[in-house]
């Protein structure tokens, strides 16, 4: 059977502790696509078909086998959201370069090899975050805070033993970290880290949305979320951007916006 829309759930290994939440947003989007649309949601933990099963694919998968299938479908003319390039661009080895090229405001950052062959930036002594350079966190040690050269070398060695070859060192920015969820040009919601945190004013929220949209455009993302720091001087720094978050804090509103966006894509197929 051919479908109008097919969602592809993320592989379990890339949804640590969030398998149900990640699946929930896909199911909510499918429900919003309407009774007249033929919709299915499948999982990338199973081999994907050789030919695209729908005119529009909304893809949460991240593994190499699934991305190979998406790329074949795209080459045959299928609309995939997010695109294969967009998904891969969220790998930090690509993200940082894209942000630098498009002048997206981010903390001082450097990609280094985990084998200890690269020098570390001097600012690491003031505190920094060490993050694996490829996919986003699948284990607690994939993102760690380090407070100096020795701690960084220890964390890098641990990553190297796990066959992670590259890591991102990102300077710590003191401030409040807001999580945001978005659909490019259509939806944006940001949430403070704790009760009592100074809320975003209208101007700052607008600036955060513009920064998030700039980051998404640089990575070719359409459905995305991430983290943004508001420092003590009220400056904004984009510290992470992900394809297809779970939208747990705003699932109902986000699902409606995503479904509406997907529906517009049928006109392009």
User: Which domain CATH number covers 223?
Assistant: 3.30.470.20
What pLDDT shows up at residue 135?
A: 72
The verdict on 7 and 78 lying in the same domain is yes
User: Which CATH number goes with the domain that contains 119?
Assistant: 3.30.1490
Residues 6+ apart with CB under 8 A from 65: 44, 47, 48
Q: Report if residue 235 sits inside a domain.
A: yes
Domain residues for 203? Answer: 175-243
pLDDT digits (tens, 9 = 90+) for 38-60: 999 999 999 999 999 999 999 99
Q: Is the same domain home to 115 and 68?
A: no
Of the candidates 171, 190, 206, which is a domain's last residue? Answer: 171
| Number of structural domains found in the chain | 3
Q: Note the pLDDT tens digit of each residue in 62-99.
A: 999 999 999 999 999 999 999 999 999 999 889 999 99
CATH code for the domain in which residue 46 is found: 3.40.50
| pLDDT tens digits along 215-230 | 999 999 999 999 999 9
Whether 92 is in a domain gets the answer: no
67/47 Cα distance (integer angstroms)? 11
Site of tokens 């998904």: 87
For helices 202-219 and 92-102, the axis angle rounded to 10 degrees is: 120
Task: State whether 22 and 60 are in the same domain.
Answer: yes
User: Are 76 and 9 in a shared domain?
Assistant: yes
Over its C-alpha atoms, the chain yields an Rg (Å, rounded) of 19
First vs last Cα of the chain: how many Å apart?
18
């Amino acid at each position: 059977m051919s479908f109008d829309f097919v969602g592809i759930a993320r592989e379990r290994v890339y949804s640590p502790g969030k398998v149900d939440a990640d699946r929930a947003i896909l199911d909510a989007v499918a429900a919003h696509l309407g009774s007249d649309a033929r919709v299915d949601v499948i999982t990338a933990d199973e081999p994907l078909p050789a030919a695209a099963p729908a005119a529009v694919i909304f893809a949460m998968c991240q593994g190499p086998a699934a991305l190979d299938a998406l790329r074949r479908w795209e080459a045959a003319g299928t609309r995939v959201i997010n695109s294969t390039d967009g998904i891969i661009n969220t790998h930090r080895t690509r993200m940082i370069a894209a942000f630098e090229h498009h002048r997206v405001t981010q903390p001082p950052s450097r990609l280094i090899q985990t084998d200890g062959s690269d020098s570390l930036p001097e600012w690491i002594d003031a505190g920094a975050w060490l993050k694996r350079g490829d996919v986003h966190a699948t284990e607690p040690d994939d993102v760690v805070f380090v407070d100096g050269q020795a701690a960084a070398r220890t964390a890098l060695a641990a990553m190297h033993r796990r066959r992670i070859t590259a890591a991102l060192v990102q300077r710590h920015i003191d401030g409040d970290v807001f999580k945001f969820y978005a659909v490019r040009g259509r939806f944006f919601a940001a949430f403070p880290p704790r009760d009592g945190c100074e809320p975003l004013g209208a101007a700052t929220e607008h600036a955060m949305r513009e920064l998030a949209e700039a980051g998404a455009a640089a990575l070719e993302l359409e459905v995305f979320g991430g983290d943004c720091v508001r420092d003590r001087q009220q400056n904004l720094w984009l510290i992470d951007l992900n394809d297809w978050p779970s939208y747990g804090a705003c699932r109902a509103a986000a699902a409606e916006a995503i479904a509406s966006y997907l529906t517009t894509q049928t006109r392009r197929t």
